[in-house]
Amino acid sequence: MLNRRNFISSVAVCALAILGGRAATAFPFVDFPGEKSKDVSLAERRRVPNSVVEQMPPVNLPELMKAFDGTEVKSIADWEQKRRPEILDFFTKNMHGIRPVERPEGLAFTPLEADRAMLDGKVIRKRAKISFKGPRGDWSFNVMAFLPKTDRPVPVFVFICNRALEKYVDPELKNISFFCPVDLITSRGYAVAVFKNTELALDDYPPYLTGEKLTVQDPVFTNGLYACFAPARTYRSWSAISAWAWGASRVVDWIETEPAFDAKHIAVIGHSRGGKTSLWAGATDPRFGLVCVNDSGCCGAKLNHVPVCLSETIALDNLVNPHWFCRAYREFNGRDAVLPFDQHWLAALTAPRLLYIASATKDYGAGPWGEFLTARHASPAWELYGKKGLVEEGPFRPETPFHRGCVGHHLRSGEHNLNRYDWSRYMDFADRHGWRAPR
């Protein structure tokens, strides 16, 4: 999801016109009957009812189980040796960019303090610095973890935090945030390891207006950890989302050195652009046994080959956040409905591990129906392994989680956010799949 919503509201139409983007509102705006006189927002009044658009099936959806050369994918071997590698390579080169390295040289973990008891001794806080070397310099970032006080290793969520830590993940736990409810997480027997995405790569390159001209910033990536590896950004250089996902993997490297964590049960979770990041982290690092994708929207878990009114587009994401993806991804601006691929391919790269996609009813920009369809259409990857993907236990509706398969989903009432309800459902899903059962 875009991180500058007020800005989007004012330039969305202009942006799409400039870049030739497909308007997500392919169907005309309509008013709800009798709503014009009520005190409701413009977005609410112009929202197309679910029955008109949001239950539509995808159109001309590219096949997941057919390789680029046209051969059918019929076995695990076909998937693991051919189809999965070519999908991963495609998204690397055309969306998220090529990384200069995976596990870097000089990777080191330095405790920043002694373990500290908190919340009346029920929670333990760990803090560490993760440092590494590149051919052009060194870099480091911090991780902060909260664990329930117990004598056994605990499963852990790696949380890609894209909001201010002091406000949304208070290190002192004087104010428990809904965004990262440490009390709830630890009381359920889980740990959470948090890092701030911008400690790795910046997330602030907005376009701006000069007179009547809309100018797009095109960062060369000479800041952050990028400068450790290359002098400038190229056409297929790794993007910010890839860099943040890479950072999540470095947190896993640290977790594997800490006996207090159950390194066999590591989840990754992110919200909005953090959700896009968690999806890519799960695709690139098989150590994430559960991938939680919260309100990620376009270029995350939302399917493009379906009209979802008011949802964002590839052109708009590339305009407002040109650092999120590699430059090559701009080739797909305006082609959302006719792409030769779609996000169910990316979601399927998590198979046969656990995947959970969540949406919110009023998160119009994310296109909840499109996110649900990605969960549905990625499921054949799990079926190859004899597992169930998304098991639809009822209609697509709020507060009705689907947890029986290896692909989970819920639609929460409310707006674009991550809250205690979401966290509870993620942990319910992990519980159901044996993460805290006797092992």
Q: What is the pLDDT of residues 96-131, one digit of tens each?
A: 999 999 999 999 999 999 999 999 999 999 999 999
**SS3 category, 90:** helix
Q: What is the pLDDT of residues 395-434, one digit of tens each?
A: 999 999 999 999 999 999 999 999 999 999 999 999 999 9
Question: Running DSSP on this structure, what letter comes out for residue 197?
Answer: G
pLDDT at 199: 98
Under a CB-based contact definition with an 8 Å cutoff, are residues 288 and 157 in contact? no
pLDDT at 38: 39
Q: Report CA-CA distances (Å) from 64 to 80, 87, 97, 169, 384.
A: 13, 9, 21, 38, 12
| pLDDT band per the 50, 70, 90 thresholds, residue 209 | confident
pLDDT at 212: 82
Q: What is the mean pLDDT of residues 126-137?
A: 97
pTM, to two decimals: 0.89
| pLDDT band per the 50, 70, 90 thresholds, residue 14 | very low
Tell me how far apart the alpha carbons of residues 143 and 109 are, in angstroms, rounded to a whole number.
10
Under a CB-based contact definition with an 8 Å cutoff, are residues 405 and 390 in contact? yes
Q: Which of 272, 296, 311, 359 is catalytic?
A: 272
Q: What is the mean pLDDT of residues 256-284?
A: 98
Residue identified by tokens 């409701």 is 40
Output 389 or 39, whichever has higher pLDDT.
389
Residue 265: active-site member = no
Does 10 have pLDDT greater than 50? no
Burial 212-223 (b: 16+ CB within 10 A, else e): eebebeebebee
Q: What is the pLDDT of residues 352-364, one digit of tens each?
A: 999 999 999 999 9
Question: Running DSSP on this structure, what letter comes out for residue 433?
Answer: T
pLDDT at 54: 60
Q: What is the pLDDT of residues 165-182, one digit of tens each?
A: 999 999 999 999 999 999
Q: What is the pLDDT of residues 76-90, one digit of tens each?
A: 999 999 999 999 999
Average pLDDT, the chain: 89
Q: Report residue 409 as tokens.
A: 């989903």
Burial 123-160 (b: 16+ CB within 10 A, else e): bbbbbbebbbebeeeebebbbbbbbbbeeebbbbbbbb
pLDDT at 2: 54
Output 308 or 343, whichever has higher pLDDT.
343
Q: What is the dihedral of CA 144, 146, 151, 155, to 10 degrees?
A: -90
Domains observed in the chain? 5-26+46-432 (3.40.50.1820)
Tell me how far apart the alpha carbons of residues 313 and 293 are, in angstroms, rounded to a whole number.
18
Q: Report residue 404 as tokens.
A: 């029986």
Tell me how far apart the alpha carbons of residues 34 and 389 are, in angstroms, rounded to a whole number.
41
Residue 416: active-site member = yes
pLDDT at 8: 41
Percent of the chain with pLDDT over 70: 87
Q: Which of 96, 409, 416, 433 is catalytic?
A: 416
pLDDT at 6: 38
